Structure 1
Amino acid sequence: MKKIFVLDTNVLLHDPQAIFAFDDNEIIIPAIVLEEIDSKKRLADELGRNARSVSRLLDSMREQGHLHEGIVLKNGGLLKVELNHRSFVRVQEMFGEMTNDNRILAVALNYDMEEQEKGSNVRTVLVSKDVLVRIKADVLGLQAQDYLSDRTVSATDLYGGYSTLHVHPSVIDEFYTYRFLSVKSLQLSMKLYPNEFIILRDEMGTSKSALLKVSQDGVRLEPLYLSNDAVWGITARNAQQRMALELLLNDDIPLVTLTGKAGTGKTLLALAAGLLKVEDEHKYKKLLIARPVVPMGKDIGYLPGEKEEKLRPWMQPIYDNLEYLFDTKKSGDIDKILMGLGSIQVEALTYIRGRSIPGQFIIIDEAQNLTKHEVKTIVSRVGEGSKIVLMGDPEQIDHPYLDSISNGLTHIVERFKGESSSGHITLEKGERSKLAQLAADLL
């Protein structure tokens, strides 16, 4: 059964190609949405870029006919800019003020009432990434939904980077004898990805187990190459942390992604691995540490001082971890150490567009607050001989229109899980303190 989809402004600003995601249904863009997009087109960040993309797309469609009459899309859908569904009476009775959101709601409600008066079975659906708009629609008796077409995977199917297999004890014995296992010989129903970790456990219930990693070509299960020795004073406290260090210290894996709750050790492990590779092994020329300053693309702000002083409040979590690794005693010691080394750079993501970053160990913290486009912008800056680590907690998102599924970090994890050049681990156990773990679990 065909439907009428009324699109909120935030859907188009989130994905300029959203009009092609509704198959052969009718897509309505309220006139007020065009006004809101017009107000964003001069912004220098991703919102501005998307606003301009939507404007160019709609302008190109004018060659096919009048937008207010409807344009037939390649997928069979009909795109229309509304001009005659502005009656605000019903919505005003419920919510009073004539805000832009309420005007969009009025358009959707009027379309729905019109179809019901015709006796049609066609239902109108308001599509918005704004939770409160969807709640208001429900109050008005309208169907409303989030924009889900850009989601890479469902919440229950997120790739964790490792799997636990219960096997006959003879399989574990075979691994310890020959130091490898053939993936084909296990005859698994599940798919294993390159650089995925496997925990073998005895199906008989004994304590016999083994920790392995899928080879980069995906045909063998191999032992971990690294011992559990300390890395810049940091030792893995659980199996997932050991897996993370294996990926972080492997020079053949240029892209590593780490996810997990606060306190699981993501930042500390990445910094320790980066310092080892840069300062001790000299594999990379520089350690570049960056994190978003709220949304990427915004200015640093009107904080006093030079760039380093402006950045300090945003980058303090990074400095806290560096102070722990360098075991500094006094305030300000870490600044002197970093100045003396010269090979460690703490930076904002604000101005990364256009840069090329070769021969560096790059750490991007709080990557869950990045959109898919921003992650693409960052990873496409990586030059020859560089390694990049993206990490964050998909459950702690500050971006108003991203969630645990649609953010850039989750997107890159899912897109790269089948590539031999990448590896991923989800850290589960908090190691900061018992209180921090309880807070992460209960609050």
Structure 2
Amino acid sequence: MSKIYVLDTNVLLQDPYAIFSFQKNEVVIPAVVLEEVDSKKRYMDEIGRNARQVSKMIDGLRQQGKLHEKIALHNGGSLRIELNHRSFHQLQDIFVEKTNDNRILAVAKNLSNEEEAKSNGKLVILVSKDTLVRVKADALGLQAEDFLNDRVIEVNDIYNGFLEIYVEKKSLNIFYEKGELMLSDITDQRFYSQQFVILKDVLGSSSSAIGIVDHTTKSLKKLVYDQEQIWGIKPRNVQQTMALELLLRTDIPLVTLAGKAGTGKTLLALAAGLLQTEDFQSYKKLLVARPIVPVGKDIGFLPGEKQEKLRPWMQPIFDNLEYLFNTKKQGELDNILAGMASIEVEALTYIRGRSIPDQYIIIDEAQNLTKHEVKTILTRVGERSKIVLMGDPAQIDHPYLDEYNNGLTYVIERFKEQQIAGHIKLLKGERSGLAQLAADLL
């Protein structure tokens, strides 16, 4: 039996093509949703872009018929703009205020009551990314669901970039001697390009080794930068060792790092970037950027010139640079950066429209980027550049993103099979015992 899906505004603002995600069912958009979408069209961020896209798409569908009556969609379903089920009578004793959320709930409830009165009535389901709207719907006896079609992966299935495999001692000895081990000699399971493998002795001894998958030779190879110390920084755990390998390899132009606060993502990336630009001169410039939360908003309300406005948002970057440069006095870092034209700290707002060749690019807090925004950034990367995207997918500040549909997770999953990309999830916090405990408990 077909169903009726009533869409909340946030579903369309998250995915403008959401109306095509419900197969051969009827999709209903309450009139109040169109009003909310219209109010967002002037925003100069991702929400505004999606609102404009929704408006153009619905306007294009008008060519097929009257939207308030019902039109057919190419996927076999149908779309209707609901104008006649706005009565607030069913809700007035429960939710007094006629807010937009409650008006959407009223439409869904009235439709549900109408369908229940029919002998072959359809099931009405409210779809919203707002948790409280779904809770309210449940209180009214309505079925409500989250919109999950935009999720890149399923729950608890995020690629972490490494595997632990138990092998015989002779395989470990071969790897130590030759620095290489054929994947077919380890196991018949599937490996991704640039995936790390931790080899452990099947008999339980302390012998172990770390290798990285090379799909060209179908083998596991020894790390090039194992236990390398750069700019006074040395990896403190196995995942940091893996991260440093990816950060220093010039043949891997895209690196993604995920991990909780204090796992060393920013410090390792900055140290690797400084080594590559200042010492090795593999790149002309180190560009460090960070989204201003919420992403894309104007920062003009802050006092001062551009750099003074950026400083509060970029302070975590400057904190790590102060540590790497071992500065002691106030203003000393600014003098160093002023004398080093090869280091640029920028907001993502100013990256759009640029072409960035021959640069080591670090994008911090990438979990707050949408799929469209991360695509915009990656398509800015020019020849001979390397880009590092890092963040904590579990710590989202964007109103319409979560751990499974943000830009960082999107890139991790889409590029995990590509030879030009590498990923590692950092597990252990190294900032302090208190910071690690806070990350775990809070």
Scaled by the length of structure 2, the TM-score of the pair is 0.98
Q: Which amino acid aligns with 1:34?
A: L
Q: Secondary structure at the match of 1:406?
A: coil
Q: For residues 363 and 435 of structure 1, what CA distance do their matches in structure 2 show? A: 27
Higher mean displacement: 241-250 or 112-121: 112-121
2:109 matched to which residue of 1? 109
Whole-angstrom CA distance in 1 between matches of 2:413 and 2:258: 12
Q: How far apart in 2 are the matches of 1:269 and 1:173?
A: 31
**1:125 aligned counterpart, secondary structure:** strand
> What residue identity is the alignment partner of 2:48?
G
Write the deviation string for residues 146-168 of structure 1: whole angstroms up to 9, x where unpaired.
11001111122110000001122
Deviations 1:324-345 (A, max 9, x none): 0000001111000000111111
CA contact (8 A) 1:161 1:424 kept: yes
Pairing of 1:356-395 with structure 2 (within 5 A): 356-395=355-394
Q: Which amino acid aligns with 1:262?
A: A
Alignment of 1:35-434 (within 5 A): 35-120=35-120, 122-189=122-189, 191-217=190-216, 219-434=218-433
- Partners in 1 of 2:423 and 2:245 — Cα distance? 11
CA contact (8 A) 1:295 1:370 kept: no
2:269 and 2:153 mapped to 1: Cα distance? 26
Amino acid across the alignment from 1:412: V
Code of the aligned partner of 1:76: G
Moved more, 299-308 or 321-330: 299-308
Distance in 1 of aligned mates of 2:311 and 2:440: 29
Aligned residue for 2:94, secondary structure, equals helix
The secondary structure found in structure 1 opposite 2:350 is coil
- Identify if the C-alpha distance between structure 1 residues 424 and 441 changes in structure 2 by more than 3 Å, giving closer, same or farther: same
* One-letter amino acid of the structure 1 residue matched with residue 70 of structure 2: G
CA distance in structure 2 between the partners assigned to 1:34 and 1:71 by the alignment? 17
* Cα distance, 1:218 vs structure 2: 6.8
Query: Is the 2:226–2:245 contact (alpha carbons within 8 Å) kept by the matching residues of 1?
Result: no
Q: Deviations over 1:35-57 (max 9, x none)?
A: 11111112211111111111111
Letter of the aligned partner of 2:105 in structure 1?
L
Letter in 1 for 2:165: L
* 2: CA distance, partners of 1:130 / 1:218: 48
Question: In the aligned structure 1, how far is the partner of 2:119 from the partner of 2:134?
Answer: 25
For 1:239 and 1:36, the matched residues in 2 are separated by: 49
> What are the Cα deviations for residues 64-119 of structure 1, in whole angstroms up to 9, with x where unaligned?
11111111111111111111111111122211100111101111111111111113
**Structure 2: distance between partners of 1:223 and 1:342:** 36
* 2-structure distance, mates of 1:55, 1:245: 46
Partner Cα distance (1:234, 1:280) in 2? 15
Deviations 1:14-38 (A, max 9, x none): 1111111111111001111111111
Give, in whole Å, the separation in 1 of the partners of 2:317 and 2:138. Answer: 43
Aligned partners of 2:247 and 2:121: how far apart in 1? 56
Distance 2:43 2:186 in 1: 54
Q: Secondary structure at the match of 2:286?
A: strand
Q: Distance in 1 between matches of 2:108 and 2:268?
A: 50
Change (3 A) 1:411 1:120: same
Mapped to 1, the partners of 2:168 and 2:114 lie a distance apart of: 65
Letter of the structure 1 residue corresponding to residue 414 of structure 2? R
Task: Give the number of equivalent residue pairs.
Answer: 442
Equivalent position SS for 1:248: helix
Ranges in structure 2 where 5+ consecutive residues have no aligned partner:
none
Q: Cα offset for 1:186?
A: 2.8
Contact 1:255 1:387 in 2 (8 A): yes
Task: Note the alpha carbon deviations across 1:272-312, whole angstroms, 9 max, x for none.
Answer: 00000011111111111110111222101311110000000
The two structures have a TM-score, normalised by structure 1, of 0.98
Contact 1:194 1:218 (8 Å CA) reproduced? no
Structure 2: which amino acid aligns with 1:267? T
SS in 1 for 2:239: helix
Looking at structure 1, the residues matched to 381 and 92 of structure 2 have their Cα atoms a distance apart, in angstroms, of 52
Query: Match for residue 22 of structure 2?
Result: 22
Report how far residue 176 of structure 1 moved.
Answer: 2.0
Return 5+ residue gaps in structure 1 as ranges: none
Partners of 1:438 and 1:33 in 2: how far apart?
Answer: 43
Identity of aligned residues (%): 64
Greater shift after overlay, 346-355 or 307-316?
A: 346-355
More off after superposition, 115-124 vs 89-98: 115-124
Conserved? CA contact 1:413–1:424, under 8 Å: yes
Aligned-residue RMSD, C-alpha? 1.1
